Amino acid sequence: MSEHTITVAGVAVDTRHWIGGERVASAQTFPDVSPIDGSTIGEISRGTGMEAAAAVAAAKAAFPAWAATSRAERARILHAIADGVEKRIEELSIVETTDNGALLRSHRRGVMPRVAHNFRFFADWLLKLEHEDFETRGHTNHVSWDPAGPSVLITPWNAPLMLATWKVAPALAAGNTVILKPAEWTPLTASLLADIAAEAGLPAGVLNVVQGYGSEIGDALTSHPDVRRISFTGSVPTAKRIAESAAANLTPLSLELGGKSPLLVFADADLDLAVDLAVEQYDNAGQVCLAATRFLVEESVAEEFTRRFVEKAGQLTQGDPRGEATDIGPNIHPLQLEKIDGFVQRAVAAGARAVIGGHRKDGQYYAPTLLTAVAQDSEIVQEEIFGPVLTLQTFATEDEAVRLANDTRFGLAATLATGDPERAERVTAQLVAGTVWTNCFFVRDLQAPFGGSRHSGVGREGGTWSFDFYCDVKNTVTSPNGWNNHG
């Protein structure tokens, strides 16, 4: 076993970068720490501008051949990558859980199968991607999607491999080459993906994986003049820095950012359903960008809703995410835990009441929390926390509910509980959000557009929208005249 290989729950993981089809070590490393118990999993190669330049150069060199590869062959290789993921679901699941603290049962049953599906979906969508030709004054218009070039993909830590492949799969399907930079807190499954892709026959340089801190390698990637696309999922402040970095080269950006999404509960809703939807917002220890963290409940049912919510939330089991019965695991990092607790303590000091939770537990665990008596303009209502912290406010009228729901700088998602289909239609039409769920939550289909409004993002991912971003969309207009007569 190489000195650069670590063993995570029996799974060998290479800690070096993957550049141009080879493993590349850096002179320096950074520690990767498990949120489960705070132990150091291993030392990871810490990339700088040198590794960034090498990865972009490898992607640039590999681009012409990959772009010229037929759609059918690109799709075949993406399906082969999906096959490799499916063969290693158990390994990927235990490594991811160790690295980011999300539930092992969720990884096994949902997240890792979704990783494979990401590749299969975009492989299949590629083969049917087309726009019907149309005529203009007798001339034929033909729309095509041309590969754009090397693409930098910067991905978050809350669902590392799933969210990475959400970008990697369409970028590769489009004919682009990729430089993937995973979050420094969760780099391990990206390294395993490089192995799986190579085994599936993906040519060298088509997928490159570089690790490190954003300030040391991220800036070098996003400012590189040979990069043709940048896709980022993460925080608003980081997105602003990336946009500034990309501006010099006018590099197109896709940004999926934060959320402060509402859950609107009307008096005519099925309260048991509404409570189920509400408790679901603690998923992944609250580390979900789409989470409906602001409960807006009609006054007449607020007391009963709160009573039922407290009862059901009290049945959740918090602990080691590897346990089959665990519902809530740890938060990702001590810095994130500090941030979460800071939000809560400032809110309580300002007059908020913790109906449940409101405190840390041992290790990197934060008690599921619900705060009431919060002002609409308060920090706890307006800013993304990214932890198991929810707020509850009441409203008297439908108009007030919509006003409160839209009164943040975000617009990623919204969830609505009502028994009146006409009200649902009225309200959803007024909500500022990229995705709205009515009487459900987290129902996702890759052919649907996904993205945010306002400070929640720029652009849309999914289906043809992904290809529109990763490609240069071309229209070719052909005259019926001027052809030589060749008999």
CA count, 13 A, side-chain hemisphere, 447 = 8
Considering only CA atoms, which of 412, 411, 419, 258 is closest in space to residue 339?
258
Catalytic residue among 289, 384, 461, 471: 289
Contact (Cβ atoms closer than 8 angstroms) between residue 392 and residue 238? no
Residue 259 has a CB neighbour count (10 Å cut-off) of 28
Q: Which helix H or strand E contains 179, and what residues bound it?
A: strand 178-181
Considering only CA atoms, which of 381, 440, 394 is closest in space to residue 301?
394
Distance from the Cα of residue 81 to its chain's centroid: 20
Distance from the Cα of residue 114 to its chain's centroid: 13
Beta bridge pairs of residue 24? 17
Cα–Cα distance, 43 to 4 (Å, whole number): 8
Task: Note if 471 is an active site residue.
Answer: no
Catalytic residue among 96, 256, 384, 461: 256
Cα–Cα distance, 108 to 427 (Å, whole number): 37
Considering only CA atoms, which of 123, 96, 119, 125 is closest in space to residue 109?
96
- The position carrying tokens 């590969």 is 147
Task: Note if 289 is an active site residue.
Answer: yes
Contact (Cβ atoms closer than 8 angstroms) between residue 462 and residue 478? no
Considering only CA atoms, which of 173, 147, 136 is closest in space to residue 476?
136
Tokens of 33: 């720490």
Strands 229-233 and 29-33: unpaired
Give Cα separations from 223 to 45, 251, 365 (angstroms).
21, 9, 37
**Three-state DSSP state, 23:** strand
Strands 389-395 and 435-438: unpaired
Considering only CA atoms, which of 257, 251, 266 is closest in space to residue 298?
266
Residues with a known catalytic role: 256, 289
